[in-house]
Amino acid sequence: MNNRVLIVDDDREIVEAIEIYLKNENLDVAKAYDGMQALEKLAEEDFDLIIMDVMMPKLDGLRATMKIRETKNIPILVLSAKSEDSDKIIGLNLGADDYITKPFNPLELVARVKSHLRRYVHLGDSSSPAKSNELRTGDLVLNLDTKEAMVGDQSIKLTPTEYGILEFLMRNQGKVFSIEQIYETVWNEPSYNVDNTVAVHIRRIREKIEINPKDPRYLKVVWGIGYKIERY
């Protein structure tokens, strides 16, 4: 059975465009054009994921998200023209699982939708406990035995150095490490004239594991301080 996705946006063309992309991925799609309609649809049937615009007539996306969160635990992707950090933080705090700014890259949207569905449908709605030989955050899984990295069901090819950096950061999720610290741990030698080596490696890792490297989900830059892996 195909997963069902509810698309909510007051701009019909956008809804239809998203519909086309999702149908190409074999997903069932339902459409709503404002918050009220979305709530009505949800009352009628179950969905596996909701794509929600923020600025809509009658009931805006954030309020609708709050309403939905009162009863349901399904993934909600907020789609908004508001691109500031504060807007993103508000959206995520109100119960959204992801925040995508308009205009969005269709491929990124699809990838994120699939990622959330996978986690919600296949792995259970809450993050399942990691296996003993695995390091996991969100869809990113590191197999310590096989030294393999996976994003969703995609296998990622990493060089030994890249794997070393990723493993070190994955073992300390949420913690920020400076270039020197990373270098000293992974290369196991004093950081002397490190230059951009670590930073460049990290950029490459990100290009491999992130859907949109410019707006990374896992491997994040903390400017002027270091890098960290986000814990999900």
Residue 29 Cβ vs another protein, minimum distance, rounded to whole Å: 15
* Residue 70 found at the interface with another protein (CB under 8 A): no
For residues 37-56, which are near another protein according to CB under 8 A?
Answer: 55
Question: Tokens standing for 30?
Answer: 């339902």
In which residue are the tokens 């933080």 written? 89
Which residue, among 177, 121, 172, 115, has the nearest Cα to 140 in the 3D structure?
A: 115
Q: How many residues at the interface with another protein, by CB under 8 A?
A: 36
AA identity, residue 212: N
Kindly list the distances between the CA atom of residue 59 and the CA atoms of 9, 38, 50, 152, in Å, as whole numbers in the listed order: 11, 9, 15, 34
Binding mask 151-180 for another protein (x = CB under 8 A): ---------------------------xx-
The Cα 148–Cα 224 span in angstroms is 30
Task: Give 84 or 153: the residue with its C-beta nearer to another protein.
Answer: 84
For residues 181-210, which are near another protein according to CB under 8 A?
Answer: 192-196, 198-200, 202-203
Q: Which stretch binds another protein (CB under 8 A): 65-73, 112-120, 143-151, 220-228?
A: 220-228
The Cα 120–Cα 180 span in angstroms is 38
AA identity, residue 144: L
Task: Give 136 or 220: the residue with its C-beta nearer to another protein.
Answer: 220
Which residue, among 107, 6, 105, has the nearest Cα to 52 in the 3D structure?
A: 6
Binding site for another protein (CB under 8 A): 11, 13-14, 17-18, 20-21, 55, 81-86, 102-104, 106, 178-179, 192-196, 198-200, 202-203, 221-226
